[in-house]
Chain A
Amino acid sequence: GAGVSQSPSNKVTEKGKDVELRCDPISGHTALYWYRQSLGQGLEFLIYFQGNSAPDKSGLPSDRFSAERTGGSVSTLTIQRTQQEDSAVYLCASSSERWGTQYFGPGTRLTVL
């Protein structure tokens, strides 16, 4: 596709349930980032994938959060046993180089009831 896509665009779940968020980066982009943004706040880095290297997971807030990137392309962010404080917009971005321009997807708005 022409840009970064994310699915679903909105997700409402009950506290304690697991959710999976998907990101399709721009074809050929080796770098992929996940961020989250709470209402009216800045972006919080979660995890970074670069090629075949081990991901930088230093931004994940707890062990309930995990992410994987299959075949160097599509990435899935999984949140287990969701809590109300996990409610936020989750944004994915990809880049063709380590410090290059990041192209963002439209985000997934997660609401945990």
Chain B
Amino acid sequence: SQQGEEDPQALSIQEGENATMNCSYKTSINNLQWYRQNSGRGLVHLILIRSNEREKHSGRLRVTLDTSKKSSSLLITASRAADTASYFCAPRGAGNMLTFGGGTRLMVKP
């Protein structure tokens, strides 16, 4: 299986601050995806970074990928209360089986 492990498990910040979440994985990947989940229901895709990319931006999101360290980070700048959610990374590669980690629970206080 290809499982991402997110760190920290929980993060609490004030509105306007930046939030950084990390993801580690164990095997080679084709790409790595980040998802957000609100209220324990469906996940929303945020961003996909390919294995030959090192950094990618989308709005207030910045994702980095270090394949040598098998790690990725998600930075949310100028956080808002609406960013409160759980964030999951999904490393994609060989094999179909995919297990998301426990995620990072982000709380943004207004």
Contact, CB under 8 Å: A56 / B99 = no
Tell whether, in the assembled complex, residue A37 and residue B40 are in contact, meaning their CB atoms are under 8 Å apart. yes
CA distance A100 to B31 in the complex (A): 8
With A56-B96, A58-B97, A89-B40 given, is the CB distance from A42 to B102 under 8 Å? yes
Nearest CB of chain B from residue A103's CB, rounded to whole Å: 7
Q: How many residues of B contact A (CB 8 A)?
A: 24
Interface 0/1 of A45-67, CB less than 8 Å to B: 10010100000101100000000
A99 touches B31 (CB 8 A): yes
| Total residue contacts A-B, CB cutoff 8 A | 60
Q: For residue B44, which residues in chain A have a CB less than 8 angstroms away from its CB?
A: 104
Residues of B within 8 A of A33 (CB): 98
Interface centre among B1, B43, B45, B90 (most CB of A within 10 A): B43
